[in-house]
A and B are shown apart, each in its own frame.
Chain A
Amino acid sequence: MIGAGPVLEAKPDRRALVSVQGLVVRYGPITALRGVDLEIGAGECVAIIGPNGAGKTSLVSAIAGLVRPAAGKVVLDGLDVARIGLADVVRSGVALVPEGRNIFGSLTVAENLRLGATPRKDDRIAPDIDEIFQRFPILGQRRSQHAGQLSGGEQQMLAIARAMLSRPRLLMLDEPSLGLAPMVVDGVYELLADIKQQGVALLVVEQNATRAFGLADRVSIFGHGAIQLSGAPDAIAADTNFDAAYFGAAYADRGAPA
């Protein structure tokens, strides 16, 4: 290994933050992912688009360490995620906003945010939380209320803000627009654009392609537990195979034997 090329050739800003290699995920007899390869570089925004049941959630769950791959691996900073404890994935710089947000309804808004800073030991946590309250006055006004009382859109903002408090290098969002009114979704995507501006890499999983296309540097169309089509958003949108990839995957999933 000494003097080997790749170490010297690797440019720090181009090095993959997360590298998914031949990932296979199974739940009992059901195969959710059938060998997925994906790299996300520092500061890059990748959108995963696909119908329900295409395996999108399984992919983010595997990167977050929530599910164990049956084969293949997820490499984070040179470390296999399966060997990192679940609670240490966020310490390696990967934060997840899961589908359904999973805010702690019995805890206050401020407590939810403080939990987001769990991995941190510095004394900037309180100022960071104040900053969030300034940007989202509604969260500030309700800081002492139970987070379960917030509206869906407010909960989504809280969930994203909470994830950002860990100061991630990669933020993963599973269906961030699910169940939200179009105006609220605009707000969510404005926030995501800001986060991208800060140089944080994003992995956004959506059923709804249009929003994610505007944000992403790269899009992968998922179907049937595998990437069907991948490339720059413009190229994908122009690709005549897009409909076939998306809808074909949808129909294939529907008709596929489990």
Chain B
Amino acid sequence: MTAASRQMKLGAFLWATGHHIAAWRHPKAHVTAGIDIDHYIQLARTAEAAKFDMVFCEDAAGLREANVAISSQTSRSIGFEPISLLSALAVQTSRIGLVSTASTSYNEPYGLARTFLSLDHLSGGRGGWNLVTSASPIEAANFGSTGLRPHADRYQRAREFAEVVTGLWRGKPGGASGSGHDSQSFSVRDPLDLPRSPQGAPVLVQAGASDVGRDLAARTADVVFTAAQTFEEAKAFYDDLKGRLAAYGREPDDIKIMPGVAPVVAETTTQAQEKYEELQELIPDDVGVALLSSYLSIADLWRYPIDGPLPELPPSEGMQSRQALVIEQSRRDNLSIRQLARHFAGARGHWRIVGTAAQVADELQARFEGGAADGFNVMPSYFPGELDAFATLVVPELQRRGLFRKDYEGRTLRDHLGLKRPM
């Protein structure tokens, strides 16, 4: 396939003031993003004008950080609930896809299927659901659970949940069997009371990268969002996941793999580096360590010497694949807790590129053409400035290279992503 015919897919991952943990403190960050709908409308329009495939929203049904002394130094504790946010954006945009995260642990499949189908209708076929299983005990405490479900149980429920939802989207009552669904986890009697999706069914995105997570993605997902620091990690993940599709009767191209990328882009390398340093300087140590702790699912990382190495860690019921990534990075680069915390605080385990538009485009192109990605979920450091920078500097560079569309060709998110319309 030539570079001109195979087009990169791009998501604009919107998150309040920005993906950098200290983004909100940046002089140019819009600090009231979490209570300003007009800010989000503007971001979605910027992404649409740049021909992004979609905007993407994360979600957690609870605070990100239990320690209020830490959370009060970040902007993560408040924001819009994403389904209502994207429903508002649906009628303020006309072409861009709208994908929101929602949990299989704290929803019921009938309600979730119906809500996302409604978003899909409001947007004329541009909706998508990012399936997560929720690994946070903070969320669990908002839903009557005494503890987090074990990883394997969460994925068992998620698999069944996805089956029921995709069945309902295809007009079947309660899942694939067509005659209602009954199991330990769910019972669903009726078909949805809304018309069929304008794109056949909303797009199903998935992010879990553990072994069971990959199997679930291979079985059900249209798009996979992943975190990979190096080309080798990204390539290994890409080949592994595409290799699992045949077992489910699917083609490699039926899934688009879009790793997260956290670029810091400027006119010159020096300016980009300065911009990055400026953000890093704004991270308080306790916030960086707390963020790292939550990724490692251990509450007391702050007890260890901050200039010493990461301690040995017990296996966790949290995000297993992310945890492996953090540990690998710390060993590989021989980083102290402080160094690792700062490093991860900025990009949350995602791939960081600091440079000019040409340098960023080079890196994206290498992974795209090297068979390590079908596209990227772009995670701007702060909003709106860094989304603007990507849209005005990097996108035109990708377009010049024939890697990214100059205009939308279709109407629906499935059209943009080159996905089959489901039967």
Are A and B subunits of one complex?
Answer: no
Binding site for B on A (CB under 8 A): none
Binding site for A on B (CB under 8 A): none
